[in-house]
Structure 1
Amino acid sequence: MIRNIVFDMGMVLLEYDPVKVCWEYTDNPEDVEWMHRELFDSKEWSLLDEGTLTDAQALERVQKRLPNEHLRWLAKESLEHWHEYNIWAKPGMGELVKELKEKGCGIYLCSNCSVRLRVFEYEIPGIEYFDGTLVSAEEKLAKPNPAIYERLFEKFHLKAEECFFIDDRQDNIDSAKGCGMDGYCFADGNVERLRAYMEEMEIL
């Protein structure tokens, strides 16, 4: 029996456009492409999620790859302010979280994110209904490493077979299933399809 719902954050609870912040500081598409490639799609970004690199360390490494002072400045502004522009609530998810909570489900977050989540977690729809949040950078573990799910179960005293995981990446779902937690790949972002599946599973 499913007693707990575990949500991913980006592209599940929150919409995310990695380069949206850049357009606040430039109108040059080439500048934005530089930021996409060298900052938001970089190894440093993954290390921020893993909690093994600070913002200052990541910025220093990224700036060394950039060819001019303008792009180095843009990287600094984009890194410092991305959470103010790049994320917004996924329509319909706040209502779904509330409904699940009212049905008696425990609600949890398991997200690959830097420690900056604590700055903007109030943006997460339905955050007031969550019973616990687990952030990769704080645990020094990132999905799809199975250890992050084991940490989730341990930290919140959950049984894997009583949890249902919603994530937009199939590799994360597969890894969770390997730990005994069933799940649903939300790659299409279709909330009504997710609802129908949960009703079929008698979760809703």
Structure 2
Amino acid sequence: MHAHDLELVSDDSTSTRRSQPGAASQGTATVVALEDGRWSLTRDGQRFDAGRAASCLLAPALGDKVWFVAEGDSAYVLAVLERAGEGPATLHIDGDAELRAEGRLTVSGTELELRGEQQLGLQADELRVRGRLGKLLLDEGSMVLRSLFTHVGKSTFVAKVIERFSERFSSHSKTSLRSVDEIDQVQAGNIDYRAEEAMQVTARHAMIKGGELVKVDGGQIHLG
């Protein structure tokens, strides 16, 4: 049937009367089907199609009880009055949308998930992330920072290959331990090792080779 064949609901009574020419009819109906972005509604055994009004953000689902308005050959679902199922509710907006608040905006829930099929962007003068446990899973990642300061109680880094490039690299620690299973190689223009108390080099075979000069200087020198 067409929307103009619906009966008009009186504002002061639940009874219905035939709509006058050009008058709009409204009332409750049940969603029975969805096809090509339009909903099929049923009311008093009559079935008709309706679109979703721009103000109806909650997307109707099968079996939902909705409030509609019809005028001429057009009918629209204005609101979902009662949901039939217990599944997740969907807020649907056609096209681009923007949520704006003049003051503070808080979004809260037991679980919160942000999903962007192509891109997800966060922009703020100051960005804060706080949580008890954090996980980040990426196929590829890049980070560009002017300055970085981190303070952690314990850090564990596991990687197959690590490459670091810097103009200057400085490291300071109270105790430094390093273990290498195979080859430990250093290539540098000049190398300077200094120890305030003692320095020990132990190996099954130890070799020191100087292309032009090898110098050993000390108050006492013991060989053998």
Query: Would you call these one fold, judging by a TM-score over 0.5?
Result: no
Q: TM-score band (shorter)?
A: under 0.3
Q: Which has the higher strand share?
A: 2
User: Which has the bigger relative contact order, CA under 8 A and spacing at least 6?
Assistant: 1
Q: Which has the higher helix share?
A: 1
TM-score, structure 1 as length reference: 0.18
